[in-house]
């Protein structure tokens, strides 16, 4: 029998993640021939210190009698204390373990905040482009997403304020502003300090909450930046953190830091769905933090990814004409704008089928049609010796289709 007539109204908002769909396609082709992939959004598996983790996990499983049992829904107290210390040391944000809730990666934190705050028809303001899985997730809850453009200094906060004023004057309910201020996915930009302060001021002036996606805060190659939470004196910024991009995506340990009121409600929502984040992974990350190992892991990651970024930038400069791209100061991505006549989805299909090079069409990251000719390139997971060859083939196809 078909169960479709019993589905909830929310199925009208269901969309598969374009990235996961593409990954499945790349995986199928990789089984039969060599693919150079710039499509990932992950750290290099050879940079992740797996031997170190193996040693720590062996100790954890031997020494911690409850390492294979549930933890509190909000996370192990020791890990929450370690995260609070981490935020003070690395971010200049003073918080306590009571304001920290451990999640299954940053993605679960974003989903839980959607459940808590978004009613169908609520307006949510995002950067345009923005992280595609947040777009898909929050549309599922019925959010009306409004995009504000970005440039080399981050989101256009003057434009954002104008959008807020317009929506409020029309009687619209604006619940949240979502931003990725450091190492933006997919744009690779870092928001300036001036705009960070202005965004927090806007939130205060118009009674808004800001969700700060800090997934890439610790992959910074040039300069140093304080998170929005550092400038927040009213509890308007909800910080969504993740250890995935430095320690490893498969660990699935993220967190959110927010007011006690928000944390308590998120905990109540989270409990029935997952009970807790994986306990062995919580214990692993806690030991990495408490034993002072994070610095060396981060240092190696930043060094390796900066080298890969520079190699990709040099290859783009040499082999790709007629396209516009940025030099990312943080994160994992370069956003490349192809000539306007080129459709990025067609380009990505041809590049994969003809040349065995995988990229991500950036159109799903946009809330309008302005990204139809843009692609996202990842420089962290690809092998160093494959970067030049892959970019050379990409440049060849740009010339063919221009």
Q: What is the DSSP string of 116-177?
A: HHPPTT-EEEEEES--HHHHHHHHHTT-EEEEEEEETTEE-HHHHHHHHHHHHHTT--EEEE
pLDDT at 185: 97
Residues 6 or more apart whose CB falls under 8 angstroms from that of 1 comprise: none
Calpha distance 288→253 (Å, rounded): 12
List, for residues 31-54, the tens digit of each pLDDT value. 788 999 999 899 999 999 999 999
Neighbours of 264 (CB within 10 A): 13
Question: What integer is the mean pLDDT of 318-341?
Answer: 95
Calpha distance 309→377 (Å, rounded): 10
CB 187 within 8 A of CB 150: yes
DSSP 195-241: HHHHHHHHHHHTT-EEEEE-TTTT-BSSS----HHHH-SSS-EEEEE
List, for residues 125-139, the tens digit of each pLDDT value. 999 999 999 999 999
Q: Of 176, 250, 255, whose CA–CA distance to 215 is shortest?
A: 255
Q: Of 341, 326, 352, 322, whose CA–CA distance to 186 is shortest?
A: 326
Q: What is the largest CA-CA distance in the chain?
A: 63
| Lowest mean pLDDT across 7-16, 167-176, 375-384, 385-394 | 7-16
List, for residues 216-253, the tens digit of each pLDDT value. 999 999 999 999 999 999 999 999 999 999 999 999 99
Calpha distance 157→327 (Å, rounded): 21
CB 208 within 8 A of CB 167: no
List, for residues 195-226, the tens digit of each pLDDT value. 999 999 999 999 999 999 999 999 999 999 99
Residues 6 or more apart whose CB falls under 8 angstroms from that of 162 comprise: none
Q: Count H helices, E strands: the chain?
A: 14, 14
List, for residues 52-66, the tens digit of each pLDDT value. 999 999 999 999 999
């Amino acid at each position: 029998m078909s169960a479709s007539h019993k589905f909830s109204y929310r199925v009208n908002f269901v969309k598969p993640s374009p990235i996961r769909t593409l990954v499945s396609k790349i995986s199928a082709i990789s089984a039969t021939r060599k693919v150079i992939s710039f499509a990932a959004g992950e750290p290099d598996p050879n940079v992740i210190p797996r031997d170190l983790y193996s040693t720590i996990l062996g100790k954890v499983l031997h020494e911690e009698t409850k390492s294979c049992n549930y933890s509190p829904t909000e996370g192990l107290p020791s890990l929450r204390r370690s995260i609070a210390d981490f935020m003070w040391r690395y971010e200049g944000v003073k918080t306590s373990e009571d304001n920290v809730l451990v999640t299954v990666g940053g993605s679960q934190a974003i989903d839980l905040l959607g459940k808590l705050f978004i009613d169908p028809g609520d307006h949510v303001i995002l950067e345009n482009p923005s992280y595609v899985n947040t777009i898909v997730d929050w549309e599922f809850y019925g959010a009306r997403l409004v995009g504000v453009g970005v440039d080399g200094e981050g989101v256009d906060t003057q434009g954002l304020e104008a959008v807020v004023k317009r929506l409020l004057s029309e009687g619209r309910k604006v619940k949240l502003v979502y931003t990725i201020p450091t190492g933006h996915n997919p744009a690779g930009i870092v928001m300036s300090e001036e705009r960070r302060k202005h965004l927090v001021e806007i939130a205060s002036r118009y009674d808004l909450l800001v969700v700060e996606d800090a997934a890439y805060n610790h992959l910074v190659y040039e300069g140093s930046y304080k998170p929005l939470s550092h400038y927040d004196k009213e509890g308007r910024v909800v910080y969504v953190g993740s250890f995935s991009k430095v320690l490893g995506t498969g660990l699935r340990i993220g967190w959110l830091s927010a007011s006690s009121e928000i944390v308590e409600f998120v905990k109540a929502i989270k409990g029935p769905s997952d009970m807790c984040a994986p306990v062995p992974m919580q214990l692993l990350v806690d030991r990495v933090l408490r034993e002072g190992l994070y610095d060396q892991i981060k240092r190696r990651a930043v060094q390796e990814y900066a080298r890969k970024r520079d190699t990709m930038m040099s290859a783009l400069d040499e082999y790709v004409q007629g396209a516009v791209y940025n030099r990312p100061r943080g994160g994992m991505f370069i956003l490349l704008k192809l000539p306007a006549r080129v459709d990025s989805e067609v380009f990505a299909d041809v590049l994969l089928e003809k040349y065995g090079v995988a990229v991500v069409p950036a159109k799903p990251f946009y809330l309008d049609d302005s990204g139809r000719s843009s692609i996202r390139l990842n420089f962290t997971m690809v092998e160093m010796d494959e970067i030049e060859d892959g970019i050379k083939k990409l440049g060849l196809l740009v010339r063919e289709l221009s």
